[in-house]
Structure 1
Amino acid sequence: MSCEDIKFAYWVPNVSGGLVISKIEQRTSWDIEYNRKLAQIAENSGFEYALSQIRFTAGYGADNQHEPMLFSAAILEATKKLKLITAILPGPWHPAVAAKQLATLDHVSGGRTAVNIVSGWFSGEFRAIGEPWLDHDERYRRSEEFIQVLKGVWTQNNFTFRGNFYQFNDYTLKPKPLQQPHPEIFQGGSSRAARDMASRVSDWYFTNGNTPEGHQTQIDDIREKAKQNGHAVKIGVNAFVIARDTEEEAQSVLKEIIDKADPQAVGGFAHEVKNAGAASPEGEGNWAQSTLEDLVQYNDGFKTNLIGTPLQIAERIVNLKRLGVDLVLCGFLHFQEEVAYFGEKILPLVRDLEKERHKTSATG
């Protein structure tokens, strides 16, 4: 188990509809004032990162979507410590544009920007904006080139690159980002192509929710591949947190979320993401093994099982750390109040349990 404290991030609700495809009440808003206040609560509660989502078109309960780069800038202006991970899509973004935007954002925020490269799962979104929808593994090959370009542009002058998707000729970006060697680069995905890409080029790998056994298999696989490549990659895990004073209350909320799920929207989302997951050659992409109940939460967040009392959740988080997880990406039903509850009730327990385990390891 790492000696570093496990880190916490939250999903920025810059997309309407919350993080569950359900008609349950969600005291969460996608407007900027709500998000500015949420970010201040989060950084004061011990969260170190926030992830701004990328969606171009309506669907599956997400009728409205703010653009993540500008939204991240607005949140950074309202905070002092929080690091914003901006999700972007190769295709709609060219890496030269993204590199310049993020370098500027890094300067104006004092070095608090990061990026999440999303290879794409929603074919209808690409068609709607006139972007080609590539085959599964081609999307990851393009993303890998995108990351290679970002790193090259951010760290070299007179950068030249000859790829299948991007070409650069003696290009120098100035100013370069404040962070050295460059802002952190995140990516997600569960397929072989996604894991192999992370093991070569990404700083962080996000995985969907899973069982402890499922997480362990993925983590061991990616860390072994990265070691062979002379690379190191950190692991982030998605989780939908339902923390209540009793386990019965927490399980009751989960049941209500599922009971009030929008069957048509969940079914449509399931169709899209299962096509995306099954399109990988080995059929193991994100959501390939997800049930309809799992898919009520976009990224299998129920599977991680951070549902229960503060102590139960803290113990499960520390167990995730033992498996090799470096960061937990949290979703909530009522973001402002539940992020505050997490910081007050759960994070101190996590830190106490971490200290106990470090002492045991040191004396054992």
Structure 2
Amino acid sequence: MTLTNALSPAREPVKFAYWVPNVSGGLVISKIEQRTGWDIDYNRKLAEIAEASGFDYALSQIRFTAGYGAEFQHEPVAFSQALLAATTRLKVIAALLPGPWNPAVAAKQIATINNLYGGRVAVNVVSGWFRGEFAAIGEPWLDHDERYRRSEEFIRALRGIWAEDNFTFRGDFYRFSNYSLKPKPIDPQPEVFQGGSSRAARDMASRVSDWYFTNGNTPEEIAKQVDDIRAKAAANNHSVRIGVNAFAIARETEAEARRVLAEIIDKADPEAVNAFGHEVKNAGKASPEGQGNWARSGFEDLVQYNDGFRSNLIGTPEQIAERILALKAAGADLILLGFLHFQEEVEHFGKHVIPLVRQLEAERPLAVAAE
């Protein structure tokens, strides 16, 4: 394997983001005790803690219907604005789902929030994986690659509306005629994130997105995706950065951290995990090549919604810091984190893990090539 950054000069410090628990049930499909709340008071305090602990971003989730342990769901754009009001530096990424959102409405919402909070809002354009959710709210369900084609048009429309006066666009899904949005966002434009692992997702990222989120995985597998995306992006005269999902369990000993992981899995809700697995595996296999997100996920992987256990940030702070450097060497620019008990564990991560990562980055300014 050739790691993407083996011959590159020192890159920016790896960034850290956390999943906003604006959806009930936490970030695992398990009946284990979780001292995590989905309410706004809990989340305001969490955002303050994350900002003070060295986190760069918070990602608000989008859900429309209950399921898989998530009975309650707050809408992400409004929720993101509340978190921005509670902080001064943290950037908040609001999830947008083409179909329910029209790009004109989304562009106006985000431009207003951008102006209100000094440019600290970003968007995560989610192409959709849950057919039942679309059916429940009366939205048409498109084939896999068509959903990504729509998302790409959605992003192109956002960027055009934010950048141009008299914006005109003729796509298969969206059309605009001489539309001018004022005020526009503060320069630079809001960052655009997206997720996925399929061919269509990676190709879309290589053309239009600032950031590409991928499910948790080993450094070797992450490097394959990074090499593919960045080669295509370079051919498109575009650049894209990579975020990797992970679930962190930092404890004094590796044995203690592994016991927590074992308890999460032992107390998993099999019915909910299998139902979630049925939906997401169908979504992953729906890509023409059959390799979208979750296509190869097993039961234990699916207990954490985005394969976060696969990134293996489970152990002592020293072990986790080393593994983060390995992910960075593979091409990760950002680590998107879930936790069991968010407030206390985000604070602990900021106090005990992030400083070690910064120390290792300073000591190892060049990534190391691996065979």
TM-score, length-scaled by structure 2: 0.96
Aligned to 2:49: 41
Aligned to 2:93: 85
Aligned to 1:322: 329
Paired with 2:155 and 2:273, the residues of 1 have a C-alpha distance of: 32
Aligned to 2:74: 66
Does the Cα contact within 8 Å between 1:106 and 1:179 map onto a contact in 2?
no
1:131 has 2:148 as partner: no
1:108 has 2:116 as partner: yes
Runs of 4+ in 1 over 3 A off after TM superposition: none
Q: Which amino acid letter does the alignment assign opposite residue 164 of structure 2?
A: Q
1:55 pairs, out of 63, 70, 90, with 63
Compared CA separation, residues 348 and 12, structure 1 to 2 (3 A): same
Paired with 2:367 and 2:70, the residues of 1 have a C-alpha distance of: 46
Paired with 1:217 and 1:287, the residues of 2 have a C-alpha distance of: 16
Deviation at 1:359, TM superposition (A): 7.6
- Which segments of 5 or more consecutive residues in structure 2 lack a partner in the other structure? none
Deviation at 1:179, TM superposition (A): 3.0
Paired with 2:61 and 2:45, the residues of 1 have a C-alpha distance of: 18
Aligned to 2:17: 9
Paired with 1:42 and 1:212, the residues of 2 have a C-alpha distance of: 25
Instruction: Give the 3-state SS of the residue equivalent to 1:293 in structure 2.
Output: helix
1:145 pairs, out of 148, 153, 159, with 153
1:347 has 2:354 as partner: yes
- Which segments of 5 or more consecutive residues in structure 1 lack a partner in the other structure? none
Deviation at 1:3, TM superposition (A): 2.2
Paired residues for 1:328-339 under 5 Å = 328-339=335-346
Does the Cα contact within 8 Å between 2:167 and 2:180 map onto a contact in 1?
yes
Does the Cα contact within 8 Å between 1:21 and 1:298 map onto a contact in 2?
yes
Greater mean alpha carbon deviation, residues 351-360 or residues 128-137 = 351-360
Aligned to 1:198: 205
Deviation at 1:360, TM superposition (A): 9.1
Cα deviation code 1:146-167 (max 9, x no counterpart) = 0000000000100000000000
Q: Which amino acid letter does the alignment assign opposite residue 89 of structure 1?
A: L
Paired with 1:313 and 1:201, the residues of 2 have a C-alpha distance of: 32
Q: Which amino acid letter does the alignment assign opposite residue 210 of structure 2?
A: D
Does the Cα contact within 8 Å between 1:90 and 1:118 map onto a contact in 2?
yes
Q: Which amino acid letter does the alignment assign opposite residue 179 of structure 1?
A: D
Cα deviation code 1:35-81 (max 9, x no counterpart) = 00000000000001000000000000000000000000101000000
Paired with 1:120 and 1:359, the residues of 2 have a C-alpha distance of: 37
Paired with 2:366 and 2:53, the residues of 1 have a C-alpha distance of: 25
Does 1 or 2 have the higher relative contact order (CA < 8 Å, sep 6+)?
2
Q: Percent of counterpart pairs with the same letter?
A: 73
Paired with 2:294 and 2:76, the residues of 1 have a C-alpha distance of: 24
1:165 has 2:179 as partner: no
Deviation at 1:21, TM superposition (A): 0.2
Cα deviation code 1:2-26 (max 9, x no counterpart) = 4210000000000000000000000
Deviation at 1:213, TM superposition (A): 1.3
Cα deviation code 1:313-337 (max 9, x no counterpart) = 0001011111111000000000000
Instruction: Give the 3-state SS of the residue equivalent to 2:299 in structure 1.
Output: coil
1:266 has 2:259 as partner: no
Paired with 1:59 and 1:322, the residues of 2 have a C-alpha distance of: 37
Aligned to 2:313: 306
Paired with 2:325 and 2:217, the residues of 1 have a C-alpha distance of: 15
Instruction: Give the 3-state SS of the residue equivalent to 1:336 in structure 2.
Output: helix
Taking only aligned residues, the RMSD between alpha carbons, in angstroms, comes to: 0.9
Count of paired positions: 360
Q: Which amino acid letter does the alignment assign opposite residue 328 of structure 2?
A: K
